[in-house]
Amino acid sequence: MSSEQSSVISGQLSVISHQLSVISHQSSVTSEQQSAICHLPSAICDLPSAIPMIPISKPCIGENEQRAVQRVLASGGLAQGPRVAEFERAFAEYIGVKHAIATSNGTTALHVALLAHGIGAGAEVITTPFTFIASINAILYAGATPRLVDVDDSFNLDASQIENAITPRTKAILPIHLFGQPCDLRAVMGLATRHNLVVVEDACQAHGATFQGKRAGSFGMGCFSFYATKNMTTGEGGMLTTSDDAVAAHARLLINHGMRVRYHHETLGYNFRLTDVAAAIGIEQLKQLDGFNARRAENAAYYDEHLRNVRGMVVPRVFPQRTHVYHQYTVRVLPDFPLTREELIARLSERGIGVGVYYPIPAHQQESASHNEWAQVHLPRAQEFAKQVISLPVHPLVTDADRAYIVETIRELANRG
């Protein structure tokens, strides 16, 4: 038997052991589980195409969401309507702002936030390339130019680099609260005030996160995503948050074809509306958000405790006066870990553990940016992190047994290579 075959079989046995551990804690065993227990040899042979994965993300959708959607369907009013208005009121109260404006997704929220502040052609927006591409694309959609700075150990924009990036064309700062931890908002807001700059917070991964006791999305104009993998979901959807009456009014025009009065178009607008079907899910999800986040934090604390001393692996650093809501639990795999990142991903997958790499290519090194002058920058930390990061399952449906198995598997791989 080759070492590769031995590794695969070892991984498969680990998966079976995990599944049996889960079954042993159940009050009853199904006939399918009983059959699996009685036929382990054939199960081992079949596992390469049948390994049950612990997914990197999984939405928590229950009966309350299903009933809420059914009520909307029964009402016959499926598009934007009273459920959207209710969702907006509840979300504004949760974030601690006067206005919340629902949009079709997080990308359109970012786009509209810039347009609502008059950011367009000729303007520069300071941000970081270590993000999902939507953060950069929204700037480009508005006709503006990204002005990129590097990141710090929180994976967020390094506020100490902002001042040197400001030019006469700079109109806004777009900080990204990546993976669920706010950036240094005190520094960002201080610089914005001093230089008369707009702040658009990309809080698409930071629902409920706080900085110095205030919610992310309440400092500048907040932008949230409710994609299926987020801490709360509407399937697809987004939200803008602000306490500026004029900006909120302009944003509402932009998402609704420039209309305040039906068929009277005051400005060029878009169809970026949310539906009542999606809002019905969002209302129920928001009620559970703090509980979802608490479970994510429990899972993250367990990983911190059991992985912080693994050679060649760096657990996420949480900075003072910030609450991290762990949209992702992202570690860095260094050269002294006995496996490369790609080898580690493969071994974890063999053992039924889903992982993700967010993000493997910084925005300025993407093919779509290759011919743009703004992308011709060297940002060593963002580029290094992109080669090191790996995210582990941290969502609320990760069980105690799941996370123990994940830790056990990583520690075994770290010791054996």
Closest Cα to residue 153, out of 331, 294, 375? 331
In a domain, 296, yes or no: no
CA pair distance 124, 304, nearest whole angstrom: 38
CA pair distance 309, 316, nearest whole angstrom: 13
Q: What is the pLDDT of residue 9?
A: 47
CA pair distance 69, 75, nearest whole angstrom: 10
CA pair distance 85, 67, nearest whole angstrom: 19
In a domain, 188, yes or no: yes
Residue finishing a domain among 260, 285, 310: 285
- 110 and 242 belong to one structural domain: yes
- 41 and 128 belong to one structural domain: no
> Which residues is 102 bridged to in the sheet?
239
Residue finishing a domain among 266, 285, 304: 285
In a domain, 381, yes or no: no
Task: Evaluate whether 13 touches 41 at the Cβ level (below 8 Å).
Answer: no
Place of tokens 């902002």: 162
- 43 and 71 belong to one structural domain: no
- 75 and 45 belong to one structural domain: no
Residue type, 331: V
Look at the alpha carbons of 48, 52, 54, 60 in this order and tell me if their dihedral is positive or negative.
positive
- 34 and 124 belong to one structural domain: no
Question: Which stretch of DSSP H or E encloses residue 64?
Answer: helix 63-75
In a domain, 192, yes or no: yes
In a domain, 204, yes or no: yes
- 146 and 193 belong to one structural domain: yes
- 99 and 32 belong to one structural domain: no
Task: Evaluate whether 160 touches 77 at the Cβ level (below 8 Å).
Answer: no
Residue numbers in the chain where pLDDT is lower than 70: 1-51, 417
Question: Which stretch of DSSP H or E encloses residue 125?
Answer: strand 124-127
CA pair distance 311, 290, nearest whole angstrom: 33
In a domain, 266, yes or no: yes
In degrees and rounded to multiples of 5, residue 352 shows phi and psi of: 80, 25
148-190: per-residue pLDDT in tens? 999 999 999 999 999 999 999 999 999 999 999 999 999 999 9
In degrees and rounded to multiples of 5, residue 400 shows phi and psi of: -60, -40
In a domain, 316, yes or no: no
Q: Which residue stretches of 25-121 are H helix?
A: 31-38, 40-46, 63-75, 82-95, 106-116
CA pair distance 180, 207, nearest whole angstrom: 7
Residues 6+ apart with CB under 8 A from 356: 56, 57, 328, 390, 391
Q: How many domains does the chain have?
A: 2
Q: What is the pLDDT of residue 24?
A: 43
- 85 and 17 belong to one structural domain: no
Task: Evaluate whether 201 touches 225 at the Cβ level (below 8 Å).
Answer: no
The tokens describing 335, both together, are: 């050269």
Quote the domain boundaries for residue 86: 63-285
Q: What is the pLDDT of residue 52?
A: 80
Q: What is the pLDDT of residue 48?
A: 39
In a domain, 392, yes or no: no
The tokens describing 115, both together, are: 């347009």
- 46 and 67 belong to one structural domain: no
Residue finishing a domain among 242, 259, 285: 285
CA pair distance 293, 297, nearest whole angstrom: 6
Residue type, 63: E
CATH number (domain holding residue 223): 3.40.640.10
Neighbours of 14 (CB within 10 A): 19
- 207 and 281 belong to one structural domain: yes
Q: What is the pLDDT of residue 35?
A: 39
In terms of DSSP bridges, do strands 322-323 and 210-211 run parallel, antiparallel, or are they unpaired? antiparallel
316-325: per-residue pLDDT in tens? 999 999 999 9
- 272 and 170 belong to one structural domain: yes
- 78 and 160 belong to one structural domain: yes
Q: What is the pLDDT of residue 11?
A: 53
Q: Could you tell me the end-to-end alpha-carbon distance of the chain, in angstroms, rounded to an integer?
A: 18
